[in-house]
Amino acid sequence: MIGSVTAGDSMWNVALRMGAVDAALNSARWWASVRWGLGTAASVSAAALRFGGRAAIVDDDGTIDYRTLDRAASSVAVRMRAAAVGPDGGLAAVGILCRNHRWFVTALVAAERAGCDTVLLSTALPASNLAEVCERDDIAVIVADQEFSEVIAQSGTNARVFVADGNGPDAMAPIAAEGLRCSPPSRRPKLVLLTSGTTGAPKSAVRTLKTTRVGGVGMLRRVPYRLGDRYFVASPLFHAWGLSQLAVGLATASTIEVRQRFEAAEIGQLLCEHRYDALVVVPLMLRRILELPIDPASVRRPRMVLSSGNVLSGELARAWMDRFGDDLYNVYGSTETAIGTIADPADLRAAPGTVGRPPDGVTLTILSDDGMPAPRGTPGWVHLASTAQFLGYTDGSDGDRAGTLMATGDIGRLDKDGRLHVSGRANDMIVTGGENVFPSGVEEVLGRHPGVEIAAVVGVDDPEFGQRVAAFVVPRQRQRVDADMLRAWVAESLPSFMVPRDIHFVDALPMTTTGKVVRHRLAVLGQSERV
């Protein structure tokens, strides 16, 4: 072990865990940063110099080491740069439309080395949205899996397509094998992440590569990362959460295992066969793994299970830790603000459902409607400030700021110990008869019922109360549950105005790739059982 791990680690212990006493690694990091700047390109280069034969990526097709990854990325970067040069000699952007595999990582590193801004494209983008993003963000090259060829064709984009998982002159594998050497870029490129909007084309948030690389010393003190760890990243790499953990893994010369599609049964089997240092998930993935008939004694427990990207309910956090141990971390933030708070296992035991405290270097403030700090315990608008904030959207607009503070769009409160509790998105709040209802509170109570697999709550128009609470429920298989039963269950824990008047039973909920419910699509689902 390189350094012991404790909560709120000292700077010295963090340095030990990150390999700061390794002179050869330090030299490699210095040389790589001079050549490529701070980012994933330098991380891969340094790891290739110091640990060339170490496994870098393990995917559905096997394993590649850091030396191979480094050489492949440089060769692809040469071809990518040539394809992205515009009529004025400037470089256009590269879009990556891939699932989790080695070619996603290769394309990410290659685009940075080429000096091209990189736009990470959601695998769920429809053709119309893809066309808008390509036009808005000046994408001239797309690295894409073959399964997305029809979407690209329907979008009408003129971008040059490099096929991630195929053969032919524009396929990544033969280009990587050419062994071309890439010269350093003439500009430091930026990274563009699409927001997880659920209506219309998502906005494009611009980040610098250095703020995406590790996430700050404060996070390293709170989360026990180590040099040479082994990760399983189940979260999509194109999303800010999965990308951030990929960046940490590359910066620590770790082995990163991925799969193109999440299959809970496969993950459960792998957790019994291999010892991972980190399992990176969204909460829905935790729920799916918990549903498996796994004997906890057969699981080779990871040192850390890192969850983010959506609400981790107190019920789900307790269930995971009771079954698999206190290894769970809940990370809160957004594409625009980056990481804002971290709840470690002790936080989740003491205050289930909390998203924790801000790490060093992050300022957290709850503001009232008048823009003044809210008293401790009083709900208000969650604002964060750090050096890792995004730079703005590519359309020229910006996030909602109050000085250096940026609004997350959530309503939350701080408890007596300084932990943040998020009630929900401000625009999801239901106002019924003058009472405010956040869906997350009702959803958590419904989710505790033994007959409910998952539930989502929205407000619908009501002529008497303005809005009424409506629930969409996916029942568990072989469980009998009806609307009156669920209303009585909710009424035992919550006020009457929070009890759903409409209950719809559905087979599944519409969700984004990170498990967020697409609330505006709920209205067309199911048959209502209404009071």
The DSSP annotation for 241-270 comes to HHHHHHHHHHHTT-EEE--SS--HHHHHHH
Where exactly are the structural domains of the chain?
A: 11-213, 217-426, 429-530
d(CA 512, CA 10) in angstroms, rounded, equals: 38
Judged against a pLDDT cut of 50, whether residue 527 lies above it is answered with no
pLDDT classification of 284: cutoffs 50, 70, 90: confident
β-strand pairing of 363-367 with 380-385: antiparallel
- pLDDT above 90 as % of the chain: 63
Average the pLDDT over 36-65 and give the result. Answer: 96
Q: Per CATH, is 11-213 categorized as 3.40.50.980?
A: yes
Judged against a pLDDT cut of 70, whether residue 54 lies above it is answered with yes
What are 444-477's pLDDT values in tens digits?
A: 899 889 999 999 998 888 888 888 999 999 998 8
φ/ψ (deg, to 5) at 221: -75, -25
- For position 216, what pLDDT does the model report? 62
**In this structure, are residues 332 and 209 in contact, taking their beta carbons and an 8 Å threshold?**
no
Question: Span 429-530: which CATH code?
Answer: 3.30.300.30
Q: Per CATH, is 217-426 categorized as 3.40.50.12780?
A: yes
d(CA 417, CA 430) in angstroms, rounded, equals: 29
What are 369-413's pLDDT values in tens digits?
A: 888 999 999 999 999 998 888 888 988 888 888 888 999 988 899
- 217-426 and 11-213 share a CATH fold: yes
What are 1-41's pLDDT values in tens digits?
A: 343 344 467 777 888 888 888 999 999 999 999 999 989 99
- For position 200, what pLDDT does the model report? 56
Name the pTM for this structure: 0.86
Tokens of 115: 């000096």
d(CA 173, CA 76) in angstroms, rounded, equals: 9
Strands (E), 156-270: 160-163, 190-194, 204-208, 230-233, 255-257
Average the pLDDT over 92-119 and give the result. Answer: 97
Judged against a pLDDT cut of 90, whether residue 264 lies above it is answered with yes
What are 117-127's pLDDT values in tens digits?
A: 999 999 988 89
Region of 3 (left: φ > 0; alpha: ψ -120 to 50; beta: rest) is left
Judged against a pLDDT cut of 90, whether residue 290 lies above it is answered with yes
Average the pLDDT over 413-424 and give the result. Answer: 92
Average the pLDDT over 243-259 and give the result. Answer: 96
The angle, 0 to 180 degrees and rounded to 10, between the axes of the packed helices 314-324 and 283-290 is: 50
- For position 338, what pLDDT does the model report? 86
- For position 2, what pLDDT does the model report? 40
Among the listed residues 25, 73, 416, the one whose alpha carbon sits nearest the alpha carbon of residue 33: 25
- For position 1, what pLDDT does the model report? 33
